[in-house]
Structure 1
Amino acid sequence: MKQRISLLLRRARVMTRRHGPEAMVWRRRIATLAGAILVGIVALLFADLADEATHLFAAMVARWWWAPLLVTPAGFALVAWMTLRFAPSAKGSGIPQVMAATKDPEGSMRHLVSGRTAIAKFFLTISTLLFGASVGREGPTVQIAASIMGYAHRLLHVPLRASVFIAGGAAGVAAAFNTPLAGVAFAIEELAAAYEQRMTLLVMTAVLIAGMVSLGIAGDYVYFGAMRQAIGVREALMVTPVAGVIGGIAGGLFSRLMLSFGSVQAAPLAWLRARPVTFALCCGIVVALLGVGSGLTWGTGYQTAKAIIEGHDVPIWFGVAKFLSTLATALSGLPGGIFAPSLSVGAGIGDMLRSLFPAYPPGAIVLLGMVAYFTGVVRAPLTAVIIISETTASRGLMMPLLASALVADFAAQLVCKEKLYHGLSQRFLPVSR
């Protein structure tokens, strides 16, 4: 009898270890739940502070139009110095860092997605917006979210795998744009080169929880506002190839310039690369001159893109000016993403397309330009289509958007063979080893 009771107790302990509250499967679920909730909260806080920084800069410009000529270059140099001094892994978008982090999850917690890097990314990105830099918060949100998810798993003693960072990054995209489907697509197309079946549940859970937190706190909003225009099949056959080719080539050119900058051997550029703070100062001067001259190229470009979608007129050269401002900011190495600025450049391209097709629905034409340019830059057509459709509630345009994105993806390959984020991630691989 005693032996039977002892056996039953031993079996009960084994079952408790395997399936009880302290079992690995439950700790992993709790870590994912807690991490995703925190990602949603931090993403919303990040968005609010970034918007406030943008408004403060706009208020300064409205009062002293000449102030950016001094403030922006000095701010670029200061943020570049602080990034190099305190958190080198925080420079740039943040998405390449997460891609590199998946190669060595445990080691990356010391550099690429460490707490120090995430905190620096948070505040330095906001600082860049205070100085008028052409950056977005979506890429930084991906890096910060991956760090949060990593620490949630480490706190509960759950082994880190690449899927943890992929799930965190995808949750960050979902919370940043309030676009859960885009988060899943981004995980498949960009963060995971080989999407493993076992990480499906982790990614879906993290994205949905972060999305629900964002939805519950910020409400059911559409990022760029609802756009209900549609175009017919005959019109789509005319405009989608044109939008795809122009947007794809422009986006591919941006990627080509970003990736080739580090290898150009011209003496002046080599001299500037060896002096990153001086180079950031020069980039700041370019951004300041473009901003003061146009009045439209500061910050994320969200307001201008939204105005273009709604049918407001902007100068025909806005897309080119925003392209140059975003390129100068990205090359400077300042913490900040290119998602929102790229959508703004795409809106500028769409505005140019409206003049080529004046009889077509203008809002729909603008969205085709946005999806084409964004695809050309990031080379992720599915993500681009879903982001545009979810941020504008333009589900009736899914087929034209997809056609334009596929053409743009092909056109971009003619200009730049390598994908931007994958190419940039190679520069962080030595740090993660």
Structure 2
Amino acid sequence: MSLYWIGAVLVGLTAVLFARFGDQCAELRTRFVTWHPWAMLVLAPAGFAFITWMTRTLFKGSQGSGIPQTIATLHMGNYTVVDRILTLRIAAGKIILTCLGLVCGASIGREGPSVQIGASIMHGFSRLLGQSNIASKRSMILAGGAAGMAAAFNTPLAGIVFAIEELSHSFEQKASGRTLTIVVISGVTAITLMGNYTYFGHADVNIPVGTAWIAVLVCGIVGGLAGGSFAALVIRASRGLPGSVGRLAKQRPIMFSALCGLLTAVIGLISKGNTYGTGYVQAQAIFAGTDHYPASFFILKYLSMLVSYCSGIPGGMFAPSLAIGAGIGGWIEQFLPHTTPGAVVLLGTVAYFCGVAQSPLTATIIVMEICDNQQVTLALLATAFLAFGVSRIVCPQPLYTVLADRFLETMDKPAARPEPMPAKQEAASEEKLPI
């Protein structure tokens, strides 16, 4: 049991170091952009190309977000394959290359990679303990992924719900105690090192039942449509881009990634630098009411996030999704003057986030915990489930489940995928982008 605790502490410590390293990289990019904004036209393409080259050489297998890979390992029976996916080398690559992506202006986050990093650490301890029982191995991977999420956002409850709703789609009684223990220890480690902070800061807002709840309806529909459309586009891109673009991605992936970097820089210049990176600064400013952004912000951030994904570089979608959702909420808020300032921003955030991930409970708990406010829980739940329903109309199958299933399809050995995944997709003949 003590080794589990050591693993949980390491997950929390790694998440904290990842966060600090990522923040320093974002600060470096900000100084660079302030010095000469147009220099991003050189830095972004060169950086994207270098990162893609690294994912194909030194850190092969580190592409993508990390969540689909973690989900896929929970459905594999051949643990020789799992051992090749959840490695410390790939985990190190996730950290280094995600941070390099932040320097280069990619619209990515560290939360998705933190899930695979946490799963890799706990899987390593599972191997160290010589576990042979498949259920025990899966519970360690599940707990590690949940702990990585919890430590990245400093949201222990969200990590537990994420493990149940997104990673495993079920709750195994045998694994529950271990998962809870590892998530709690990892979360306590993160709090000890970084303090009991909240992502958005404390929000003393409320949404009383009545006319203010029109914001729930509007945010749920708009956020669900926007998030669902993004998920549908990502799924389409994972099957292969059409025409000459798809051929370029297949035949010259490094050049294609450089072009994605150039497009990211152009979008960044149009947005005056607001679309670079995670979007945390912009989301926090919108929530606090210290800055206001036009509708073009979340539209451009949406495009930048999509281009960053298509490039195939490592990086997650959670933090940029929160920024896009905050932008949507801030834009809607100006048309609803009778609502509490900041409240609609939270509704927009949970709506878009849920629209992308189609995990209403996880979305609700994450937003509730990052703003340290339980008063808005009912409104957040209502908005999340409405956005979930709208998103399902646009994108009938959950994003991460489909991406995980497509990742399983890339495995050479049939033994790697003995269990059918939900939302099975037909095989595609076009080049698949890294997931």
Is the shorter-chain TM-score for this pair beyond 0.5, marking a shared fold? yes
Pair 168,288 (structure 1): closer, same or farther in 2 beyond 3 Å: same
Q: Following superposition of structure 1 onto structure 2, how do residues 374-393 of structure 1 map, counting pairs within 5 Å? A: 374-393=353-372
Counterpart position of 1:282: 259
Match of 1:60 in 2: 32
Which residue number in structure 1 is paired with residue 279 of structure 2? 301
Aligned-residue Cα RMSD (Å) equals 1.4
Deviations 1:115-146 (A, max 9, x none): 22111111111111111111100001110110
SS in 2 for 1:360: coil
> 1:347 corresponds to which residue?
326
Structure 1: stretches of 5+ with no match in the other structure: 1-28
- Choose from 362, 367, 392 the match for 2:346: 367
Residue 72 of structure 1 pairs with residue 55 of structure 2: no
1:352 offset after TM fit, Å?
1.3
2:155 aligned with 1:182, yes or no?
no
CA distance in 2, matches of 1:48, 1:237: 38
Deviation at 1:362, TM superposition (A): 2.3
1:85 correspondence with 2:57: yes
User: Structure 1, residues 374-406: CA drift from partner, whole Å, max 9, x if none?
Assistant: 000001110101110100112110000000000
2:230 is the counterpart of 1:246:
no
| Structure 1 segment 164-175 matched on structure 2, within 5 A | 164-175=140-151
Could you tell me how far 1:428 is from its partner in structure 2? 2.1
Corresponding residue for residue 5 of structure 1: none
Provide the secondary structure at the position in 2 that maps to 1:296: coil
1:289-317 CA-to-partner distances (Å, cap 9, x unmatched) read 11112120010000000000001212331
1:48 aligns with 2:17: no
| Aligned position for 2:107 | 134
Superimposed CA distance per residue, residues 33-58 of structure 1 (whole angstroms, 9 cap, x where no aligned partner):
11101000010000000000000011
CA, structure 1 residues 82+411, in 2 after alignment: closer, same or farther (shift >3 Å)?
same
Contact kept, 8 Å, 1:57 with 1:130, in 2: the verdict is: yes
* One-letter identity of the residue aligned with 2:83: R
* 2:302 pairs with one of 323, 341, 357: 323
Rounded to whole Å, the distance in 2 between the matches of 1:289 and 1:89 is: 28
User: Structure 1 residue aligned with 2:246, among 263, 270, 273?
Assistant: 270
Count of matched residue positions in the alignment of Structure 1 and Structure 2: 405
Secondary structure of 1:66's partner? helix
Contact 2:109 2:317 in 1 (8 A): yes
Structure 2: distance between partners of 1:194 and 1:107: 24
Deviations 1:299-342 (A, max 9, x none): 00000000000012123311101100011001111100010000
Asked if the contact 1:53/1:127 (under 8 Å) is kept, the reply is yes
* Structure 1 position 214, deviation (Å): 0.8
Report the CA distance between 1:181 and its aligned residue. Answer: 0.3
* Rounded Cα–Cα distance in structure 2 between residues aligned with 1:217 and 1:44: 7
Per mean C-alpha deviation after superposition, the further-off stretch among 152-161 and 305-314 is 152-161
Give, in whole Å, the separation in 2 of the partners of 1:175 and 1:265: 35
Deviations along 1:351-382, one digit per CA (max 9) or x if unpaired, are 11112212211200000000000000001110
Amino acid at match of 1:111: R
Q: Calculate percent identity across the aligned residue pairs.
A: 43
**8 A contact 1:109–1:147 mirrored in 2:** no
Indicate the larger mover: 411-420 or 157-166.
Answer: 157-166
Choose which of 157, 160, 164 in structure 1 pairs with 2:130. Answer: 157
Whether contact under 8 Å (2:207, 2:213) holds in the other structure is no
CA drift of 1:227 comes to 1.0
Letter in 1 for 2:363: A
Structure 2 letter corresponding to 1:302: Y
**Contact preservation (8 Å) 2:126, 2:137:** no
1 CA distance for matches of 2:337 and 2:166?
35
Corresponding residue of 1:211: 187
Deviation at 1:279, TM superposition (A): 1.8
Match of 2:209 among 210, 233, 252: 233
Contact 1:236 1:400 in 2 (8 A): no
Matched, 1:36 2:12: no
* Cα contact 1:34–1:152 (8 A) shared by 2: no
2:176 and 2:239 mapped to 1: Cα distance? 38
The amino acid that maps onto 1:410 is G
Residues 13, 190 of structure 2: 8 Å contact kept: yes
Larger Rg over CA atoms: 1
Partner of 1:89, secondary structure, is: coil
Residue 310 of structure 1 is matched in structure 2 by 288
CA displacement at 1:189 relative to structure 2: 0.6
Once the 2 structures are TM-superposed, how far is the Cα of residue 109 of structure 1 from its aligned partner? 4.1
Which is further off, 234-243 or 260-269?
A: 260-269
Q: In the TM superposition, what whole-angstrom CA distance separates every residue of 1:137-189 from its partner, at most 9, and x where no partner exists?
A: 00011101100001112112233521111100000011111100000010011
Which whole-Å CA distance do the structure 1 matches of 2:80 and 2:269 have between them? 44
- The residue that corresponds to 1:16 in the other structure is none
CA shift, 1:415, in A, is 0.4
Counterpart selection for 1:292 from 269, 272, 286: 269
For residue 158 of structure 1, give the secondary structure of its aligned residue in structure 2: coil
User: Which residue identity does 2:239 align to in structure 1?
Assistant: S
Q: Which amino acid aligns with 1:250?
A: A
Query: Which residue of the other structure, out of 112, 116, 131, is the alignment partner of 2:89?
Result: 116
**3-state SS of 1:90 partner:** coil
Partner of 1:143: 116
Does the 8 Å contact 2:350/2:383 carry over to 1?
Answer: yes
2:67 paired with 1:95: yes
Deviations 1:258-317 (A, max 9, x none): 001243573223212313222211211111011112120010000000000001212331
In the alignment, what sits opposite 2:385?
Answer: 406
For 2:206 and 2:140, locate their aligned partners in 1 and report how far apart those are by CA, in whole Å.
39
